[in-house]
């Protein structure tokens, strides 16, 4: 069988189960407005939680850096790609998170698949939440450590697994999302840190959806749980609330020095553009020193859940969560509701397996500080109309 025939059979099988994916062209503008070939829509599917992705101040910071340094970083960080903008961003991130040091990566995906295998390997044990992000799962697999998966958020089950398996392992690492991207709920950071200490394990939190949003001045999940500084390794992305692209890890100086020497996705990859770092620095200033962005997001998130509830729609995630999933179940149905919404001017993600478990396809509404009350009310009303039919 030819390569194409073999692959076509795979694509056909996906299509039969309503799981085939395709790209949509989306031109993003200020105010969470996007143009697609189906017309203009309000975007309720992005991770641009604070509306910074199209903010003129970030664009200006990037433009200035391009004028000064050009486009490309020229090399990996350890060769000659280590621009002053990278160094400044990392030192400002470390200061913000009250950590000794921070290190940037090309993306959150690259960070997770590079860091986890640098920390643990054969003979070690990983304890992981069953709903962890794909990049964490891949990092765990790459590490060759034995992975013990516990039911979602179940610290009792985690404690049992630690009791049973910690002893046989050399090192132990507990790995979890801070705020779960498809369910909108939070990891019990305090309980996890306490268990880790009890069992001589380390903690690794991927806080992609919480940095810039939750906690004091947006410092994330650990801060929200009043345990900032108690997590050993924290990863955050610059592609979500920060509105740019790229990622970072923060922790002790020893951790960062070690990762510079051992994280393969850091060592063997071109440094992010200096302009990305410059834009991320501007985003960090806005997140840290301008609470209005976060306050607007929270007000919008509360409004969203209230309007949905008022329209008789049951949403997952907590009150005031900026990720608002609505369970549909069937993949085909989720896609159909999504496409009806987009023709009515609202872009909402239809999330299907393998992103979520089989039979749990859902709409994933994400709220942004850039939304207006009118847009939020409009979505709730339109969605209610579609779901009634
Ligand atoms: C989005 C996401 C990532 C990937 O980050 P990128 O910077 O987009 O590569 C990693 N982990 C979690 C939990 C995410 O939601």
Distance in Å, CA 45 to ligand 1 centroid: 15
The domain boundary, picked from 259, 289, 319, lies at 289
CATH label of the domain that carries residue 36: 3.90.1150.10
Rounded to whole angstroms, the Cα distance separating 71 from 274 reads 7
Q: Which of 185, 186, 240 to mutate to test the pocket of ligand 1 (most atoms within 8 A of CB)?
A: 240
Tell whether 46 is covered by a domain. yes
Same domain, 241 and 321: no
Same domain, 194 and 333: no
Ligand 1 contact, 133 CB (< 6 A): yes
pLDDT in tens, 343-383: 999 999 999 998 899 999 999 999 999 999 999 999 999 99
- Does residue 317 register a pLDDT over 80? no
The domain boundary, picked from 244, 274, 289, lies at 289
Tell whether 69 is covered by a domain. yes
- Provide the token pair at 166: 């910690």
Same domain, 69 and 172: yes
pLDDT in tens, 91-147: 999 999 999 999 999 999 999 999 999 999 999 999 999 999 999 999 999 999 999
Same domain, 64 and 161: yes
Same domain, 167 and 248: yes
Tokens 């001045």 locate to 217
Same domain, 377 and 334: yes
- Provide the token pair at 252: 């002790």
Question: Is 181 among the catalytic positions?
Answer: yes
Helix, coil or strand: residue 27: strand
State which residues form the domain around 44: 23-53+291-388
Work out the average pLDDT over 200-229.
97
Same domain, 263 and 298: no
Tell whether 229 is covered by a domain. yes
Same domain, 48 and 63: no
Tell whether 14 is covered by a domain. no
Q: What is the count of structural domains for the chain?
A: 2
- Does residue 318 register a pLDDT over 90? no
Instruction: Name the closest-CA residue to atom 4, ligand 1.
Output: 108
HEC string of 88-134 equals HHHHHHHHHCCCCEEEEECCHHHHHHHHHHHHCCCCCEEEEECCCCH
Rounded to whole angstroms, the Cα distance separating 226 from 216 reads 9
Work out the average pLDDT over 26-41.
95
Mean pLDDT of the chain: 96
The domain boundary, picked from 266, 289, 312, lies at 289
Tell whether 5 is covered by a domain. no
Contacts of 29 (CB under 8 A, 6+ apart): 35, 54
Residue by residue, DSSP assigns 163-187 as: HHHTTT-SSEEEEEESB-TTT--B-
- Provide the token pair at 66: 């391009």
Rounded to whole angstroms, the Cα distance separating 145 from 117 reads 8
pTM for this structure? 0.96
Same domain, 186 and 133: yes
Distance in Å, CA 3 to ligand 1 centroid: 31
Tell whether 381 is covered by a domain. yes
Tell whether 2 is covered by a domain. no
pLDDT in tens, 239-286: 999 999 999 999 999 999 999 999 999 999 999 999 999 999 999 999
Tell whether 268 is covered by a domain. yes
Same domain, 196 and 130: yes
Distance in Å, CA 180 to ligand 1 centroid: 11
Same domain, 285 and 295: no
């Amino acid at each position: 069988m030819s390569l194409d025939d073999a692959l076509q059979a795979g694509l056909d099988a996906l299509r039969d189960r309503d799981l085939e994916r395709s790209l949509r062209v989306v031109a993003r503008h200020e105010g969470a407005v996007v143009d697609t070939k189906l017309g203009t829509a309000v975007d309720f599917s992005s991770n641009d939680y604070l509306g910074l992705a199209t903010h003129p101040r970030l664009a200006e910071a990037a433009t200035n850096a391009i004028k000064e340094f050009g486009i490309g970083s020229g090399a990996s960080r350890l060769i000659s790609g280590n621009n002053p903008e990278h160094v400044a961003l990392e030192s400002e991130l470390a200061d913000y998170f009250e950590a000794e040091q921070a290190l940037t990566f090309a993306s959150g995906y690259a960070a997770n698949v590079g860091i986890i295998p640098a920390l643990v390997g054969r003979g070690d044990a990983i304890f992981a939440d069953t709903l962890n992000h794909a990049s964490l799962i891949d990092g765990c697999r790459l590490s060759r450590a034995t992975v013990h998966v516990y039911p979602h958020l179940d610290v009792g089950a985690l404690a049992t697994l630690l009791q049973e398996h910690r002893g046989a392992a050399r090192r132990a690492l507990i790995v979890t999302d801070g705020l779960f991207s498809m369910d909108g709920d939070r990891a019990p950071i305090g309980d996890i840190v306490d268990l880790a200490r009890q069992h001589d394990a380390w903690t690794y939190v991927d806080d992609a959806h919480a940095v810039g949003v939750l906690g004091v001045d947006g410092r994330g999940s650990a801060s929200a749980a009043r345990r900032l500084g108690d997590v050993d390794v924290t990863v955050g992305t610059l592609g979500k609330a920060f509105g740019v692209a790229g990622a970072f890890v923060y922790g002790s100086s020893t951790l960062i020095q070690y990762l510079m020497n051992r994280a393969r996705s850091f060592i063997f990859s071109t440094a992010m553009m200096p302009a990305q770092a410059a834009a991320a620095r501007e985003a960090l200033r806005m997140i840290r020193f301008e609470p209005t962005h976060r306050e607007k997001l929270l007000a919008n998130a509360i409004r969203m859940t209230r309007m949905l509830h008022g329209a008789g729609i049951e949403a997952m995630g907590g009150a005031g969560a900026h990720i608002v999933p609505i369970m549909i179940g069937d993949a085909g149905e989720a896609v159909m509701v999504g496409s009806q919404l987009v023709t009515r001017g609202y872009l909402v993600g239809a999330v299907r397996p393998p992103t979520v478990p089989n039979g749990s396809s859902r709409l994933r509404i994400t709220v942004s500080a850039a939304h207006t009350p009118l847009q939020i009310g409009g979505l709730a009303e339109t969605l209610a109309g579609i779901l009634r039919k």
